[in-house]
Chains A and B, each alone.
Chain A
C-alpha cells in the first residue's frame, strides 16, 4: 500500500516524508528521535534543519539519506519509496541519487583532493577521462584549483570540507545532505563554504538540505525547518 496515498502536495517534491517515526530503545527507555515528521522538499531548495542537540536533526537526515530506517512512516525520493529497499538496493540508490557532506569531512586520507572527488564517479563506473574532467571542474568551482593533488592532511578544515562538497556533487545527485557541515570550521571557512554552496544552489539549482545549529548558516538558508523532540515545530521559507 502506498503510504503517500493521502498525501497530496501541490508541487512535485524531490523528497517526501510521511509521518516519520524513529524510536530508539536504550535499556527500558524509548527515545523518540523522530515523532511524526512529514515534509516536502522541492528541487533547488536550500534548506536548513535546525534545533537543539537531540532534537532529531541528524536522525532525519540519516532516514532521508537511506542510512537509517524509520520505525514507522515512509520516505519517497524522486517518486521512489526507499523505506522498504534492501541494503544493496539502498547503497546503489544512494550512489546514484544522494550526495553526502559530513561534519568531520570524512575524506579518504590516502587519496588526493582530485582522487577523492573522482572516487564516487569511479564507483559509478564512469570512464576515466570523464570523471577526471568533472572532478577538476568541480574542484575549480569550489576554489581548489591549485590544491587538487594535495592530500587531506595537507589541507585546512575549510578546504577539506570544500573537497567534500565537490565529492558530493561529483555523482550529479538529486540533492545533497550535509550534516552540520560548518561545525568544525572557523567563521571565514564557514562563510566561504556557504558562498560556494549558495552559488551552486543558485547557478545549478543544486538542492541542499543541511542540519545545523550555526546561526550564520541559518541566516543564509532559504528555508528553515525547526525540530524539537523529534517534531517539526516551525517551517519558514524566506
Chain B
C-alpha cells in the first residue's frame, strides 16, 4: 500500500512532478550525451595519434631518443626483426628516421623524413587512407615522397613538384637529396602533417649507403590488451634497447584517457547533485501541502519508520520514472552519433590543430549506463532524506489543525 500511495501521490500535482521528471530526464540525457561526445573526441584523438605513426609499441636505440643521430640505429636489427615477426597479432614497420630540412623553391621547414617499406607501413598506420592528392608509396619508384597537406601548402608544392631534403649523415656530412612529390596526405593532426614526410626506405639506404640503418620499429597490436605484457617481454629480452608503449611516448594522451573515465563520473555527479536540490524542493513542497494528511497518519498509528519510508519511496519513484527514460533515450542518441558522427566542420581547423577529428563519433562504455542508474538511485535516496526527516518532525496535533 505504501508503494501504491507513493505512486499516486506523485501524480497529485502532475505539473510539479513532470517538471522535476523532465529536469531529471534532461540531466541524465545531457550528462551522458556530453560524456559520450567527450569520450568519443578523446578516444579518436588517441586513435588518430596512434594510427598516424606512433603505433602501440616503439623500439629504439636508447641514445637515438636523446640525440636523434643517424648512428644510433637499432643494433642486431635482423635478430630483433625475426623475433618481432614471431609475436602473434603484431604488425611491424621498421623505419629509418631522419631529422632535416625540407625545402622547395618557395621555402624551407624543419621536419622528419621517415624511410618506410610501404607494405609494412600500411599495417601500422593510416597515412595511406588520408591521401588527398596523388597516391601513397607503393610500387617502387626512385626518390618519391609523400608529404602532409599543411607542409605542401607552406612549401607551395603540388603533385610531381620537387622538394629537397637536407640532413646530416652518419659522418656528420651534409647531404641533400631531391624527391618528387607522389602524394599529399592529410590526417586529423595538422601539426603532424606539417612535420613528417614519407619516402621509400631503400632510397635512404642508398643515399646513406647502408642497409642496416633502422632507427625505429613500430608495432601495432591486433589485441591491445597484450601491449603491456609484450613490452615487458621485449624489454627483458633486449635490455640494451628502449622499448616504449604509446603511453610512454604520449603520457599526456594516456593521462587524458585515464582522467576521462573519472571526468565522466564527476560530470554526472555534478549534474545529479544539482538535480538533487530540485528533488528536495519538490518533496518539501509536497510535504508542506500534505501536513494535515501526514499528521492524520501519525495520529491513527502510522509509525515513524513507515512514514519515513513512504516519503523515501515516493522520492525514489519520482526519480526512477525519468532517470531510466533519460538513460534509454541517451542510449539511442549516443548510438545514432556513434554510427553517423557529429560534424564539427564549422570549427574543424581549430580541432585539427590540436589533433581532434572534425567528425566526432560518440563512444560510451555500457557499464557507464548502469553506473549512472546507480547514481540516480543514490541521488534519489539522498534527496529523500531531508524531506523524510522533515515529515517525521511534524506534530500530529498541529498538522491536523493545519497550523
Q: Hey, which bits of chain A sit against chain B, CB under 8 A?
A: 62, 65, 67-68, 87-88, 91-92, 94-96, 100, 102, 104, 106, 108-111, 115, 118-120, 122-124, 167, 171
What would be 28 A-B contacts, judged by CB atoms less than 8 Å apart? A62-B397, A67-B299, A67-B396, A67-B397, A68-B397, A87-B304, A91-B301, A91-B302, A92-B303, A94-B300, A96-B301, A102-B296, A106-B293, A106-B400, A108-B297, A109-B12, A110-B5, A110-B8, A110-B9, A110-B12, A111-B4, A111-B5, A115-B1, A115-B4, A119-B300, A120-B301, A167-B300, A171-B301
- Report the 8 A-B pairs with minimum CB-CB distance, sorted nearest first: A95-B301, A110-B8, A106-B296, A94-B301, A122-B1, A67-B397, A91-B303, A67-B396
- Find out whether the CB atom of B5 lies under 8 angstroms from the CB atom of A123: no
Chain B residues near A65: list those with CB within 8 A.
299
B360 within 8 A of A: no
In Å, the complex CA distance between A111 and B397 comes to 23
**Residue ID in chain A nearest B296 by CB atoms:** A106
Chain B residues near A104: list those with CB within 8 A.
292, 400, 402
Chain A residues near B5: list those with CB within 8 A.
108, 110-111
Most buried by A among B1, B8, B295, B297: B1
Chain B residues near A110: list those with CB within 8 A.
5, 8-9, 12
B36 within 8 A of A: no
B-side interface size class:
20 to 34
In Å, the complex CA distance between A96 and B292 comes to 22
Q: Shortest distance in angstroms between A176's beta carbon and chain B's nearest beta carbon?
A: 11
**Residue ID in chain A nearest B9 by CB atoms:** A110
B141 within 8 A of A: no
Chain A residues near B302: list those with CB within 8 A.
91, 95, 123
Task: Among A68, A91, A118, point to the contact of B304 (Cβ < 8 A).
Answer: A91
B306 within 8 A of A: yes
Chain B residues near A109: list those with CB within 8 A.
12, 293
Task: Among B12, B292, B293, B301, point to the contact of A123 (Cβ < 8 A).
Answer: B301
**Residue ID in chain B nearest A59 by CB atoms:** B397
Most buried by A among B4, B303, B400: B400
Q: Shortest distance in angstroms between B48's beta carbon and chain A's nearest beta carbon?
A: 57
**Residue ID in chain B nearest A93 by CB atoms:** B301
Chain A residues near B297: list those with CB within 8 A.
108
B283 within 8 A of A: no
Q: Shortest distance in angstroms between B56's beta carbon and chain A's nearest beta carbon?
A: 61
Chain A residues near B391: list those with CB within 8 A.
none
In Å, the complex CA distance between A100 and B292 comes to 14
- Find out whether the CB atom of B299 lies under 8 angstroms from the CB atom of A100: yes
B298 within 8 A of A: yes
**Residue ID in chain A nearest B306 by CB atoms:** A123
Q: Shortest distance in angstroms between B6's beta carbon and chain A's nearest beta carbon?
A: 9
Chain A residues near B402: list those with CB within 8 A.
104
Interface residues of B in 1-51 (CB under 8 A from A): 1, 4-5, 8-9, 12
- Find out whether the CB atom of A102 lies under 8 angstroms from the CB atom of B400: yes
Chain A residues near B1: list those with CB within 8 A.
115, 118-119, 122
**Residue ID in chain B nearest A97 by CB atoms:** B301
Chain A residues near B306: list those with CB within 8 A.
123
Chain B residues near A88: list those with CB within 8 A.
303-304
Per-position contact with A for B361-403: 1 when CB-CB < 8 Å, else 0?
0000000000000000000000000000000000011001010
Q: Shortest distance in angstroms between B310's beta carbon and chain A's nearest beta carbon?
A: 11
Chain A residues near B293: list those with CB within 8 A.
106, 108-109
In Å, the complex CA distance between A110 and B297 comes to 14
In Å, the complex CA distance between A111 and B293 comes to 12
Q: Shortest distance in angstroms between A23's beta carbon and chain B's nearest beta carbon?
A: 15
Chain A residues near B296: list those with CB within 8 A.
100, 102, 106
**Residue ID in chain A nearest B290 by CB atoms:** A109
Task: Among A68, A95, A111, A118, point to the contact of B300 (Cβ < 8 A).
Answer: A95
Chain B residues near A62: list those with CB within 8 A.
397
In Å, the complex CA distance between A97 and B397 comes to 18
Q: Shortest distance in angstroms between A61's beta carbon and chain B's nearest beta carbon?
A: 10
In Å, the complex CA distance between A23 and B304 comes to 27
Chain A residues near B303: list those with CB within 8 A.
88, 91-92, 95, 123
Q: Shortest distance in angstroms between A54's beta carbon and chain B's nearest beta carbon?
A: 14
Most buried by B among A87, A106, A124: A106
In Å, the complex CA distance between A100 and B299 comes to 8
Chain B residues near A100: list those with CB within 8 A.
296, 299-300
**Residue ID in chain B nearest A120 by CB atoms:** B300
Task: Among B4, B292, B304, point to the contact of A106 (Cβ < 8 A).
Answer: B292
Chain B residues near A120: list those with CB within 8 A.
300-301
In Å, the complex CA distance between A95 and B5 comes to 19
